[in-house]
A and B are shown apart, each in its own frame.
Chain A
Amino acid sequence: MSAGRASAETLLSQAQSGDEAALGRLLSLVEKGGEPAQEISRHCHPKTGGAFTLGVTGAPGAGKSTLTSSLATVLRERGFRLAILAIDPSSPTSGGAILGDRVRMATHAQDDDVFIRSMATRGNLGGLSVATSGAVRVLDAAGFDWIIVETVGVGQVELAISRAADTTLVVLNPGWGDEVQAAKAGLLEIADLFAINKADREGTEQTERELRQMLSLRSSQSDWSPSITCTVATRGESVETLLDNIIEHRQWMEENGELDERRASRAWSELEQLVIARLVREASEMLTPGNHPDLARDLADKSTDPVTAAAALHKSHFPKRTAG
């Protein structure tokens, strides 16, 4: 049967029984949004909570995919099933993308317990965080123990992603004061842990020192202080330790209620994004100039002014609200 016409329920049960085409399909539908995505969300949400989601972010080329693949190896050795969501930017000019992260994850190509999906950022960040949360929800409902979300840390993308992960790992490289500056700019705030990857290169200790110093200056309300692990992802070095540190953070969050809190506030912020997206869509329909020929004319001949007209327009569309 063609997956294109199956219901969310059917696709999900197929996905749960290991049909990767059905799972692939669900992820596309979620990414596309609209009613199918809503239906899928409704079926998946009650089945979530079993998976732990790790976000891996950092500068381009930092070794995120390689490190993700090594972490997957250790997770598999410990008996976990996992899904990897590898997100790359879409070209702003063509809208296309080359999604090449899975080339670095080829060691898992034959392992039925590792599912890999590539995703492009496609336009706005609100949309990205909604699509990512939706995809994570599907993977969680499909029964994976762990979900790793890889994303390149440029600008605000990592913030969008950190909204979809339980724990965020920031990957840096040695030898670059700039790296730490980058960390200062935005990555520092979202990091629960750091990996200084490519620790086979010079300058690892110095970068670690600089990072520690920077962290000590951070004013944080949390009593969690991010650990720093120096890794060589290509050789799997210290990746066990890194995973132990990640699990330590998970346990810390589970014990003090932080995990539930994060998940609840994530669900709320997803709701916010969705409502805002709807309102923006509605507003842009409402504002199509052709829909208000009278108003446009009145504005032009100055029989009304923009502020008054805006209030009137708003009121006519949302009659229950008082003007603001």
Chain B
Amino acid sequence: MNARVLVAKPGLDGHDRGAKIVARTLRDAGFEVIYTGIRQEPALIARMAAQEDVDIVGLSILSGAHIALTRSTVAALKEANVGHAKIIVGGTVPEADIAKLKELGAADVFPTGTRMEDLVSRCRALVEERNKPLNERRQGQRRNAAFPGAVRR
């Protein structure tokens, strides 16, 4: 599978314990996790996502600024031509904000306390979902495609 996930910590809070636990959990589940350190700006997260060609961009946010940071990361990813990467948001997100985050473009939200098994299975589902539409599209385009095999993992 070799799915790739960028784990980033946007915003100003400096705690990355949660992000590191998530990174290790995903590593143990077979993901390639690109760990990027604390206090990243959305534009720089998007740039790393482009360079690393990741399937998922994980934002760990404890500062309470999850709405604004998710909105600007979604925009930055589009700007960097990586609008296809799935965004997941974890951290101190109140139940009431989950729908809003999804509306803004988050593919899934994992508030503090989410079971790690759930995180893993839902990330796997995202990767599968991400591969599927391209595979289907490819069926119709086989003749023109320069790379018959060039679909997402």
Known contacts A4-B151, A7-B146, A91-B28; is-contact A21 B36 (Cβ 8 Å): no
Q: How large is the interface on B (under 10, 10 to 19, 20 to 34, 35 or more residues)?
A: 35 or more
Contacts of B69 in A (CB 8 A): none
The smallest beta-carbon distance between B5 and chain A, in angstroms, is 9
Contacts of A5 in B (CB 8 A): 134, 137-138, 141, 145, 147, 150-151
Q: Does B152 make an interface contact (CB < 8 A)?
A: yes
Contacts of A110 in B (CB 8 A): 44
B84 A4 Cβ-Cβ under 8 A: yes
B52 A117 Cβ-Cβ under 8 A: yes
Q: Report Cα–Cα, A90/B3, bound state, in Å.
A: 13
Stretch at the interface among A28-36, A177-185, A207-215, A243-251: A28-36
A98 B35 Cβ-Cβ under 8 A: yes
The smallest beta-carbon distance between A298 and chain B, in angstroms, is 39
**How many A-B contacts if CB must be within 8 Å?**
113
Contacts of A8 in B (CB 8 A): 146-147
- Within 108-161 of A, Cβ neighbours of B (below 8 Å) are at 109-110, 115-118, 120, 122
Known contacts A24-B52, A110-B44; is-contact A118 B34 (Cβ 8 Å): yes
Q: How large is the interface on A (under 10, 10 to 19, 20 to 34, 35 or more residues)?
A: 35 or more
The smallest beta-carbon distance between A149 and chain B, in angstroms, is 15
Q: Does B29 make an interface contact (CB < 8 A)?
A: yes
Contacts of B137 in A (CB 8 A): 5
Known contacts A24-B53, A122-B2; is-contact A97 B148 (Cβ 8 Å): no
The 19 sampled A-B contact pairs (Cβ below 8 Å) are A4-B152, A5-B134, A20-B47, A23-B51, A24-B82, A25-B53, A27-B53, A28-B153, A91-B28, A94-B28, A95-B30, A96-B32, A99-B35, A102-B34, A103-B36, A115-B51, A116-B51, A118-B32, A118-B52
20 extra interface residue pairs, beta carbon distance < 8 Å, beyond A21-B53, A96-B29, A118-B52: A4-B150, A5-B141, A5-B147, A5-B151, A7-B147, A20-B50, A20-B51, A21-B82, A23-B51, A24-B82, A34-B149, A35-B147, A90-B32, A94-B29, A96-B32, A98-B23, A100-B35, A103-B36, A115-B51, A117-B52
A-side interface residues toward B, CB under 8 Å?
Answer: 2-9, 19-25, 27-29, 32, 34-36, 39, 90-91, 94-100, 102-103, 106, 109-110, 115-118, 120, 122
